[in-house]
Amino acid sequence: MDKFIIEGGRELHGSVRLQSAKNAVLPLFAASVLTDKQVTIRETPPITDAYCMAEILRELGADVRFHDGDVTIDSSEACCHEISSALTKELRSSVFMLGSLLTRFHRAVIAYPGGCDIGLRPIDLHLNALKRLGVRIMERDGFIYCECDTLRGAEIGIDFPSVGATENIMLAGVKAEGKTVLQGAAKEPEIVDLQNFLNSMGARIRGAGTDVIEIEGVRELGGVTYTPVKDRIEAGTFLIACAICGGEVEVEGVGAENLGLLLHKLRENGCKIHIKNDKIKLSGSGRLKCNRRIETMPFPGFPTDLQAQITALNAVSEGGALIVENLFETRFKYVPELQKMGADIEVHGRTAFVRGVRKLHGASVTAGDLRGGAALVLAALGAEGVSEVLDLSYIDRGYSDFEGKLRALGAEIKRVRV
């Protein structure tokens, strides 16, 4: 197990080279099973979630190779439709494989997916949608058994704009007979990226980025070389880090429209933000002001994946903030760790009230999930004294060379093997 040793109190200056989006890359891995031609995903971040997804594909019989930041996937020899519980319990995104496996083999067996412990995250929306496409489903002993004679296009409505369910329907509908129309689709940029990837393979999908997606089934899909979108959550994490520490940081590769509400909240804090094309530069100095209220919502609302980081910022800002988490019921598990550093935060269910303090102090804290772990690192960067952040396995799931990028900005942070 590794840990970070962080000496706080240093301003951050410079630019950050963003990785490809974790939440875009993982569905592309799943989509590679849809063709027997070679797929190359360029600039894939070396994060543990990507390696776990690669292991799932290898278990199915695919050949997956990492080389100089690119991943080449050849699924022509894939012959297995079952994914072991050991892998699915490590990775929530393994649920994307249902749509791909049903398209390729007309059957799939998968254990209930795992991932970060931030709530139940039921997959009923996925299963009900697949049933509309003609899939027979049985759940038994912690496994989901799916099969169909053929996939047939259908009118599907989902009650909540679930990113995972939207992507699963796209993967299941892409080669289904006829037309699939999805009402109530998620609008995240990563949905648009999956549409662009599949269309580059020969699919006929339109409407991604809106709440209605139309999919005309095609017979075959070809190979593709594709570069995913940059990671807007990583971009937001570094912008918030600069807001906490002070200084000036620029991120490049993410359009401001994909971080709209975050940028509004950071301006509300008192940060100066300059936008030019796909470059976003944030300047911060002195003690900032608390946001009065933040509520997480599906895109284009405030991202749940930036909730913990913005809470860390409010913890050292002037005034009080009300943070409401609408997507996951246990996403405030990081708060007791912030309290060890002197944060004044009260949590009641899905709501946290933050009273800003002048400074946090160094402490030994433990990451309990990906984004909560990132928030602890950001808090330590702005704190007085030395902190250690334990159990980096969660952080490594979503951030590549997190410490190296922070050091390049002037942070005093090092990774140590425990």
80/58 Cα distance (integer angstroms): 10
Three-class SS of residue 158?
coil
Q: Which residues contact 171 (CB under 8 A, 6 or more apart)?
A: 27, 30, 31, 34, 96, 99, 100, 103
Q: Which residues contact 79 (CB under 8 A, 6 or more apart)?
A: 60, 61
Strands 224-226 and 39-41: parallel
3-class secondary structure per residue, 11-40? CEEEEEECCECHHHHHHHHHHHHHCCCCEE
Tokens of residue 240, six digits? 């918030």
Contact 224, 200 (CB under 8 A): yes
**CA proximity to 281, closest of 300, 312, 259:** 259
Is 146 considered catalytic here?
no
- β partners of residue 365: 389
Inter-CA distances, 108 with 25, 143, 254, 306, 330, Å: 22, 10, 36, 33, 30
Tokens of residue 140, six digits? 């038994």
Contact 300, 187 (CB under 8 A): yes
Check 116, 146, 242, 245 and give the catalytic one. 116
Contact 5, 386 (CB under 8 A): yes
Q: Which amino acid is at 292?
A: R
Burial class (CB in 10 A: 0-12, 13-18, 19+), 1: exposed
Cis before 300 (ω within 30): yes
Length of the chain counted residue by residue: 418
> Catalytic residue positions?
116
